[in-house]
Chains A and B, each alone.
Chain A
Amino acid sequence: MSDLILTPNFDNADDFYATLLAAHEGLEKADSDALNARLVLVLANHIGDGTVLSDAIRAAALSND
């Protein structure tokens, strides 16, 4: 079991970001929202660990606790 990583961990941050933007290219808002939702679920399953996932949700909410 490992902690949520909040320091840089990408092989290549710019490549990832470009790939993400490219996936949304030309999509309507609804289709983009659906893609993001599916992506969250795919990534969440890959992580699996409930504590890491809860920490990730808290981190994404930009809450201060």
Chain B
Amino acid sequence: MNKIFETPLYGYERSPDQDSPTPVRHKVIVIGAGPVGLAAAIDLTQQGVEVVVLDENDKVSFGSRAICFSQRTLEIADRLGCGRHLVDKGVLWDRGKVFFDDRQVYDFNLQPDEGYANPAFINLQQYHFENYFVERVRELQAEGAPIEIRGRNRVEAIGTHEDHVRLEVETPEGPYTIEAEWLIACDGATSPTRRMLGIDFEGRVFEDNFLIADVIMDADFPSERWFWFDPPFNRGQSALLHKQPDNVWRIDLQLGWDIDKEREKRPENVIPRLTAMLGDDVDFQLEWVSIYTFQCRRMESFRKGRVLFAGDSAHQVSPFGARGANSGLQDTDNLCWKLKLVLDGKAPESLLDSYNAERVYGADENIQKSSRSTDFITPKSEMSRVLRDAVLDLSEKYEFARPLVNSGRLSQPCTYDGSSLNSADALNGPACTRPGSACPDAPLGDEFLLPKLAGKFTLLTIDADAPDTLEEDGIEVTRLALSVKDDLTLALKRRYLGDATSAVYLIRPDQHVAARRDSFEENSFRHAIRRACGKE
């Protein structure tokens, strides 16, 4: 067994709050020290907001769980000061192969376009991810930042009030009460917070079981995503093989609905399945085995007064497409700058409703895409299987059918089309940077664009004039002046200008485009700033 599962990372320590005669009130409490909760806490801390993270456990997650982290997640992690560690440790991949029956039908490359600081995807066990994020918390603490993780602090009851929440917390040394101005619930798919507040979580249940096995082996399979439809070693079902760091491989085998889960999890039943897949001559050890079913669902609203839900607590998808943890990080990326402005009194509380609107939109997109993948992978009727197999047969011979093959549409950043924070598009520019889009990266000499857009409002000008700073009702905007003359790879031009010769972009602290036009026009940009902060 891997030691990392057993070592307490944030062991229980008595807090002065437990001895306070009256409940201590914190700015923000985050429930859950998984990837999403840690991201929220680090993000807020970096903005100077005091945060306490409560977790009922004191260790990293057991088993690899989320393993596939997208470029957007790495970009967010860069801003949180952890991106480099993830990329250095992770397995980089951008190629995949699709097999049907006993043969390969085609292969694909996820990122044919170059000019991004981060790879399209990395594979990394969730426990490594959490470990690096906890290290980042320790680093911030060493710098004196007000961030705390309290292990073995289980929230037992939540009282919601007009301007705060009150939590009853159970610890190894008994209960205590604390309060927070804002609560962020990142406590996972079975969210106790959601249950305690009596909020429904409706959605579609997919009647299927999947066996996940992490195996340790020295194998010469390449770092690619291999997906099988109806392979000889798992007839009528699907299979996935994906490499993780430390010679750990993720194997995912569809088992069907009518199975005995406890029986299927036993090593004597798992090992023959894996041998049939990997071949008799491959030596492997089982690190972790789990059987999962899934649902595609979301809460009706991700905000309930002073309680904000992020990650799996708010929405759940099938694992096909890596849309779980990746969408959770987009949640906190969207939420934290808004919460900071509200805490500072620089934006109305209603700005947080745009968190709900934008991330519900993102969740619906993820649910739709992952439901469609699931319908392709596990056809629900005889004719849907006939059509699915027709697509696969055609894809081997004809390129046209390949876009129909759906073994998971891999997570892309959500574009908040129609968000109330966007201003109307006033540039004849590329679609990938229309208002609502997450800014695509671009090389700037030896550096990259995105780190220059992090954590503040930016006025990005490309061959256009504008003031170096602009302040509108307490919101400061700093200019970043660029020119296509320095754009040797033309990535900036391709991604931000298109047919236009100049452009001015208003970019939010989460690197999403709020407004754009071909030149700086003060009045319209002042409106755009107000709009992006929920003031119009």
Contact = CB atoms under 8 A, between A and B. Distances in A.
Contacts of B393: 34, 38
Interface stretch (B141-149, B232-240, B382-390, B451-459): B382-390
Contacts of A30: 386
Interface in A33-62: 33-34, 37-38, 40-42, 45
Interface residues of A, number: 9
Q: How would you classify the secondary structure of chain B's contact residues: helix, strand, loop or mixed?
A: helix
A33 B386 CA distance: 7
A42 B389 contact: no
A37 B387 CA distance: 5
Q: How would you classify the secondary structure of chain A's contact residues: helix, strand, loop or mixed?
A: helix
A34 B391 CA distance: 10
Interface in B383-412: 383, 386-387, 389-391, 393-394, 398, 400-401, 404
A55 B239 CA distance: 36
A41 B387 CA distance: 8
Nearest to B399: A45
B391 to A, nearest CB: 6
A34 B101 CA distance: 15
Nearest to B401: A41
A37 B383 CA distance: 9
Contacts of B391: 41
A62 B400 CA distance: 28
Contact of A34 (B390, B398, B400, B404): B390
A53 B398 CA distance: 20
B394 A41 contact: yes
Interface string A4-41: 00000000000000000000000000100110011011
A41 B386 contact: no
Contact of A45 (B386, B389, B400): B400
A30 B390 CA distance: 12
**Of residues B383, B386, B391, B401, which shows the largest number of chain A Cβ atoms within 10 Å of its Cβ?**
B386
Nearest to A42: B394
A34 B382 CA distance: 11
Contacts of A37: 383, 386-387, 389-390
**Of residues B383, B390, B393, B398, which shows the largest number of chain A Cβ atoms within 10 Å of its Cβ?**
B390
A63 B386 CA distance: 23
A17 B390 CA distance: 22
B390 A45 contact: no
A45 B387 contact: no
Given A41-B391, A41-B394, A42-B394, A34 B386 contact: yes
A38 B394 CA distance: 7
A35 to B, nearest CB: 9
A33 B398 CA distance: 19
A38 B400 contact: no
Contacts of B389: 34, 37
Contacts of B394: 38, 41-42
Nearest to A33: B386
B96 to A, nearest CB: 22
A21 to B, nearest CB: 19
Contacts of B390: 34, 37-38, 40-41
Contacts of B401: 41, 45
Interface string B71-94: 000000000000000000000000
A52 B357 CA distance: 33
Interface of A: 30, 33-34, 37-38, 40-42, 45
10 contacts: A33-B386, A34-B393, A37-B383, A37-B390, A38-B390, A38-B393, A41-B390, A41-B391, A42-B400, A45-B400
5 tightest Cβ-Cβ pairs between the two chains A and B: A37-B390, A45-B400, A38-B390, A37-B386, A37-B387
Given A38-B394, A42-B398, 17 more contacts: A34-B389, A34-B390, A34-B393, A37-B383, A37-B387, A37-B389, A37-B390, A38-B393, A40-B387, A40-B390, A41-B387, A41-B390, A41-B394, A41-B404, A42-B400, A45-B400, A45-B401
